[in-house]
């Protein structure tokens, strides 16, 4: 212990303590309080500035995190609103399609009061050797049977080839094995509409058995005749795309572009019954 009191460290501590006690006392007694205050301020000012700067930085970080949390909450709210708007758009689009579909078939029913129909949706599409094949969600439970016509609101699509309790399979009228009795709406000229593999790939079919002077022109609308066909009369088949001489006869052949195709519709009607001949 004696060695501590004799050490330089002890003397330095003692001197600094005396200075810290005596100097302020002397300054105060001499009326130099402002000098003391100035000295203290000189020592404390850098520390105060550093403290203020640190507090500012801390406040800045706190503000940043508060703003981040607010933005995060607003972003989550915007995502919810966006999802809600998308759902509303989807529902509006679905309602629009449903309204258009109902309007088309209402017009069909008004023009053909004798038709008995079953609504159906196309649930799948495939391909056969010559034309389109499609699946429907209606079957024998709803009165659908083999050989029944399938139509859209604009015209014919095909006919039922297979049927189950709640499903059915149909083929497009464009298949090569099919033939539809038809006539020209403007002139009444009668012929037969047939499909071929090559024409089906071009989105066309042909109207054959037309005399050389047959009154048929590009743009004429072609309708089902109802004779010798599964389709009732006066349904639209399509419009004449071009007329050419038939290389195998003295007649002409009209190439018809169907009014509707499988890739343009999702809902159809199966005609389960109709008068044998109807306008």
Whether pLDDT at 112 is above 70: yes
**Which of 50-54, 159-163, 184-188 shows the lowest per-residue confidence on average (mean pLDDT)?**
50-54
- pLDDT for the residue numbered 147: 92
Please check whether residue 215 is in contact with residue 187, taking contact to mean a CB–CB distance below 8 angstroms: yes
Give the CA radius of gyration of the chain: 46
- pLDDT for the residue numbered 166: 94
The CA distance from 143 to 122, in Å, is 17
Query: Cα–Cα distances in Å, from 198 out to 1, 158, 244?
Result: 117, 18, 17
The CA distance from 192 to 190, in Å, is 7
Joined together, the tokens standing for residue 46 give 């850098």
- pLDDT for the residue numbered 111: 73
Please check whether residue 148 is in contact with residue 272, taking contact to mean a CB–CB distance below 8 angstroms: yes
pLDDT band at 255 (very low <50, low <70, confident <90, very high): very high
The CA distance from 220 to 214, in Å, is 12
pLDDT band at 175 (very low <50, low <70, confident <90, very high): confident
Q: How far from the centroid of its chain's Cα atoms is residue 156's Cα? A: 27
What percent of the chain is predicted at pLDDT more than 70?
66
Please check whether residue 172 is in contact with residue 195, taking contact to mean a CB–CB distance below 8 angstroms: yes
pLDDT in tens, 79-98: 887 777 777 776 666 566 65
pLDDT band at 4 (very low <50, low <70, confident <90, very high): very low
What percent of the chain is predicted at pLDDT more than 90?
32
Residue with tokens 């006919």: 159
pLDDT in tens, 126-170: 754 445 789 999 999 999 999 999 998 888 999 999 999 999 999
Ranked by mean pLDDT, the top range of 15-24, 68-77, 104-113, 244-253 is 244-253
HEC per residue, 184-231: ECCCCCEEEEECCHHHHHCCCEEEEEECCCCCCCCCCEEEECCCCCCC
Beta-carbon count within 10 A of 159 CB: 23
Please check whether residue 182 is in contact with residue 223, taking contact to mean a CB–CB distance below 8 angstroms: yes
The CA distance from 105 to 251, in Å, is 37
Whether pLDDT at 180 is above 80: yes
Write phi, then psi, for 64 (nearest 5 degrees).
Answer: -60, -45
Write phi, then psi, for 249 (nearest 5 degrees).
Answer: -150, 180
pTM for this entry: 0.62
Query: Cα–Cα distances in Å, from 164 out to 134, 142, 168, 267?
Result: 14, 10, 6, 19
- pLDDT for the residue numbered 50: 57
Whether pLDDT at 177 is above 50: yes
Domains annotated on the chain, with CATH = 118-279 (2.40.10.340)
Please check whether residue 192 is in contact with residue 209, taking contact to mean a CB–CB distance below 8 angstroms: yes
The CA distance from 264 to 97, in Å, is 12
């Amino acid at each position: 212990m004696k060695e501590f009191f004799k050490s330089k460290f002890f003397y330095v501590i003692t001197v600094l303590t005396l200075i810290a006690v005596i100097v302020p006392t002397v300054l105060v007694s001499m009326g130099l309080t402002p000098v003391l205050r100035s000295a203290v301020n000189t020592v404390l000012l850098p520390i105060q500035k550093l403290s203020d700067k640190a507090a500012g930085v801390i406040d800045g970080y706190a503000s940043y995190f508060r703003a981040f949390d607010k933005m995060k909450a607003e972003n989550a709210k915007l995502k919810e609103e966006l999802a809600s708007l998308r759902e509303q758009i989807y529902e509006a689009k679905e309602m629009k399609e449903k309204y258009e579909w109902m309007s088309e078939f209402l017009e069909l029913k008004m023009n053909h009061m004798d038709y008995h129909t079953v609504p159906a949706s196309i649930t799948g599409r495939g391909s056969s050797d010559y034309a389109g094949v499609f699946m429907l969600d209606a079957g024998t439970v709803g009165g659908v049977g083999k050989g029944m016509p399938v139509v859209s609101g604009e015209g014919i699509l095909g006919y039922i080839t297979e049927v189950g309790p709640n499903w059915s399979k149909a083929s497009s009228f464009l298949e090569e094995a099919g033939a539809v009795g038809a006539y020209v709406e403007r002139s009444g000229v009668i012929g037969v509409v047939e499909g071929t593999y090559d024409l089906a790939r071009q989105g066309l079919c042909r109207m054959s058995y037309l005399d050389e002077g047959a009154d048929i022109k590009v743009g004429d609308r072609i309708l089902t005749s109802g004779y010798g066909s599964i389709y009732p009369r006066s349904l639209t088949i399509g419009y004449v795309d071009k007329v050419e001489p038939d290389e195998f006869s003295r007649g002409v052949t009209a190439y018809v572009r169907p009014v509707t195709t499988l890739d343009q519709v999702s809902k159809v009607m199966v005609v389960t019954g109709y008068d044998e001949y109807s306008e």
